[in-house]
Amino acid sequence: MAKTRTAFFCRNCGAQSPKWIGKCPSCGEWNTYIEEVIQRLEPGTSVQASSRKTAVPTLITGIEFSSESRIDTHNQELNRVLGGGLVQGSVILVGGEPGIGKSTLMLQVALTMPGTRVLYVSGEESEQQIRMRAERLGMGKNDCYILTETSTTAILNHIAGLNPGAVIIDSIQTLTSESIDASAGSISQIRETASELQRFAKTANVPVFLIGHITKEGSLAGPKLLEHMVDTVLQFEGDRNYGYRILRSVKNRFGSTSELGIYEMQGDGLREVSNPSEILITQHEEPVSGTTVAATIEGLRPMLIETQALVSTAAYGTPQRSCTGFDTRRLNMLLAVLEKRSGFKLGAKDVFLNIAGGLRVDDPATDLAVVSAVLSSSIDIPVSPKTCFAAEVGLSGEIRPVTRVEQRVSEAGKLGFETIVISKLNLIAAKSQAKKIKIQPVGKVEEVFRLLFG
């Protein structure tokens, strides 16, 4: 056996040092270095040694190019986030809070890929537990195999005998490598096991899903190197008190990182939400003040979301500014614009803002809907439920144009809205959709107030 030695690793970024350091020179964090025992195998005993290929320099124009073939996961929301499907040989890391539905999503994908042999490797649950969940999800006709194992050597041996078309690992924090003498979940074990699975995926041209835990700060547990090693990083998020889950792409080498998929958690698993606007807009029996609808864009998908505002007199002297799903600093900026440019006295009032459905929005086109909701709640006059908004508000009180306004107007027309308020600088681009919905151009915040409340 090789000589056993110890090394120090940063828990935040995974940097390695031969001795303990108070401040990490890589990420700048203090007191994050921990000692781990490393034990390497004899040369030539690596599981992946026989599968490595000798690389030679190749002229870029001489490389054969063809569009990457993608595997249909039969999950349209996941396909959208991945950029059109699962790329062969890719490594996808899926992270999220405990109980959010990561294992449910991956098992559901494994059960709904007919024609593709899928190996689901679990180090956290028994075979009986996985079978119980599969019964609840509805197994149907599939070619899914279950393996409860934590040793990467045993997993790779089973993969060689089974020859699957896709592999799912639940989770990377439970795997151990024989070449590292450390406990499962440690930085060195995560780095080594992920490296072995990455080499397998690239050499065998088989896609691999890795389910990862997150820390209490919300970042993926393990070294930052883990996110650099994989091809795609997906974040599965949402409030467990709500039934909706959002799958976001944080990193994607084969598609856009601005796409997102929406699911609804039900008793029989995750249901894909193909039209999120219908579930994000509350159906009120009568108009309610402080409620408006914004036409936003998430990736390539136009969405209409409900913006709720509540303005009341500050009870404790110091006014509160609270946001759910919206940037608090941007709300403060919009309130300052209303007070400075338009004369609305909101400095002594509490302002609460909520994006319905548990979503978090950073589209600037939401500004006008937020301003209208605040004004509506302040004077206690409701805005017409058949009116939506799509414009940015500048510091001088001007209504600024937004991108892809045609898609926003078209989506609003499909959902039955009668009027959409946009910037007058977007009028020419939006005229092509004028047959479906009335387009109301505005240039200043004062014009919006007169338009809505007279």
Helix (H, G, I), strand (E, B) or coil at 345: coil
- CB burial readout 393-403, b (16+ within 10 A) else e: bbeebbbbbbe
* Cα–Cα distance measured from residue 112 to residue 118, given in angstroms and rounded to the nearest whole number: 10
* Cα–Cα distance measured from residue 46 to residue 40, given in angstroms and rounded to the nearest whole number: 10
**Helix %, strand %, coil % of the chain (to 5):** 30, 30, 40
Look up residue 217 and give its DSSP letter. T
Residue 100 labelled as part of a binding site: yes
| HSE value, Cβ hemisphere, 13 Å, CA-based, for 205 | 4
Residue 161 labelled as part of a binding site: no
* Cα–Cα distance measured from residue 313 to residue 110, given in angstroms and rounded to the nearest whole number: 54
Q: Among 227, 226, 232, which residue's Cα sits nearest to residue 255?
A: 232
Helix (H, G, I), strand (E, B) or coil at 409: helix
Distance of CA 74 to the CA centre of its chain: 19
Residue 96 labelled as part of a binding site: yes
User: Under 8 Å CB-to-CB from 279, ≥6 apart: which residues?
Assistant: 244, 264, 273, 357
Look up residue 69 and give its DSSP letter. P
Element (H, E) at 245: strand 244-252
Residue 251 labelled as part of a binding site: no
Residue 358 labelled as part of a binding site: no
Residue 223 labelled as part of a binding site: no
Helix (H, G, I), strand (E, B) or coil at 311: strand
* Cα–Cα distance measured from residue 280 to residue 407, given in angstroms and rounded to the nearest whole number: 18
* Cα–Cα distance measured from residue 215 to residue 447, given in angstroms and rounded to the nearest whole number: 47
- CB burial readout 307-337, b (16+ within 10 A) else e: bbbbbeeeeeeebeeebebbeeebbeebbeb
Q: Among 107, 222, 111, which residue's Cα sits nearest to residue 168?
A: 107
Element (H, E) at 390: strand 387-390
Contact 204, 196 (CB under 8 A): no
User: Under 8 Å CB-to-CB from 427, ≥6 apart: which residues?
Assistant: 439, 441
Q: Which amino acid is at 43?
A: P
Look up residue 11 and give its DSSP letter. T
Going by the annotation, the residues of the binding site for ATP are 96-103
Residue list, annotated binding site: 96-103
